[in-house]
Structure 1
């Protein structure tokens, strides 16, 4: 598998100078296509800053971020917006649904911005809602659905145009245990279909369901369960 995400020696510094805050401190990592990765850390660890970087919502102070072989570290806002539209499906803790639109209309909305024709976007949206088990709720508005159903609409919206990367920020944070299981099962299913899923969480039990766990602490990668240990380190450990 080829690398989808490559972050090279990335720093994100706020208030440069005497009172600077290093939200990310020389972070390097690679995520391959079709991986299911959880990025975990406590509040203030830097995981949200890393998520913003991965989602092209922010750019690093220094270092490089390569997405699909393109260096996106210093692109303009318009160029980053275009990449977000094409490459990344976002799922947020707060659902971010438009209250006066139906489930189907909420899923269609980003496709309108992308210039997808009416017939095609309706077909894609219906298919996405079926995939998350909401074919019977397509005409319902968010207030007429449970939290778990609203999050499934948000997932359908994220996957409708089959972006290669699904970036899920605390997607189960507002849900009960049954809805949490439903959402995690959907994310696992998307991974099995070949999507790259990057899950941001503070919950160890949620993170443990991913295939790889990256722990962020004080703006640095503290541990990475997918990291390959160099041969010389293995030999030293066995000595």
Structure 2
């Protein structure tokens, strides 16, 4: 079966020439539907660049990226925008919620831009907020919620349109340890329900909670393995 994500010989070069920086250096990897993957690396390792490629926020200098069977490597900005809207749900370190909107309205907002009817987007928003345990906070504004609750609203917003890929960039970076674990449980539950979840992190404790770890160093895949509870090496 075709992997959900397939990256082949992917390079991203900044300042080509004498002072070039190879943010990604001939990266190969595949991610199957339904995986829970952590992409881990220190600052400057290339993990954020790889996230931008996987999220169709940037295009590679060379190589190919196939998402859901489509080669998105050479798409135009408009085409990439369409792919992002349909295929990917983003969760960021900053919650990016609109302060004067309720939790439900924040979740509905991207669905309005997608042209989803009022009844359907209300149903999807309620369903998503229930999925992250916020059915009793739907009418609360961000200032009336904790950091962990705000991040759960952001997760509900990411999953409302039912995209095949959830891409989470340092989603616990602004949270205390208790809220961090709450968010990790939400992400793991999404995975158990059949979602493909890709988590970008620099935190080994977070990476220890996912099924598969891809470690990036100097723009290359340094290691790619199933977590030690399985003891199984992953073969791309």
Q: Normalising by structure 2, what TM-score?
A: 0.95
Give the structure 2 partner of residue 62 of structure 1: 62
**Conserved in 1, the CA contact under 8 Å of 2:13 and 2:20?**
yes
Structure 2 counterparts to residues 1-239 of structure 1, below 5 A: 2-226=2-226, 228=234
**Conserved in 2, the CA contact under 8 Å of 1:35 and 1:197?**
yes
Q: 1:76-110 CA deviation, whole Å, 9 max, x = no partner?
A: 11110111110101000001111111111110011
- What SS does the aligned partner of 2:136 have? helix
**Conserved in 2, the CA contact under 8 Å of 1:2 and 1:33?**
no
Give the C-alpha shift of residue 178 in structure 1.
1.1
**Conserved in 1, the CA contact under 8 Å of 2:39 and 2:47?**
yes
- What SS does the aligned partner of 1:123 have? helix
Bigger Rg, which one: 1
Instruction: Provide the rounded CA distance (Å) in 2 between the counterparts of 1:74 and 1:2.
Output: 20
**Conserved in 1, the CA contact under 8 Å of 2:2 and 2:69?**
no
Give the structure 2 partner of residue 234 of structure 1: none
Which consecutive aligned stretches of 4+ in structure 1 deviate over 6 angstroms post-superposition?
A: none
Structure 1, unaligned runs of 5 or more: 231-239
Q: Normalising by structure 1, what TM-score?
A: 0.94
The number of aligned residues is 230
Q: 1:140-166 CA deviation, whole Å, 9 max, x = no partner?
A: 111111100000000000011111100
Instruction: Provide the rounded CA distance (Å) in 2 between the counterparts of 1:99 and 1:21.
Output: 39
Give the C-alpha shift of residue 2 in structure 1.
3.6
Q: 1:49-87 CA deviation, whole Å, 9 max, x = no partner?
A: 000000000000000000001000000111101111101
- What SS does the aligned partner of 1:149 have? helix
Structure 2, unaligned runs of 5 or more: 227-232
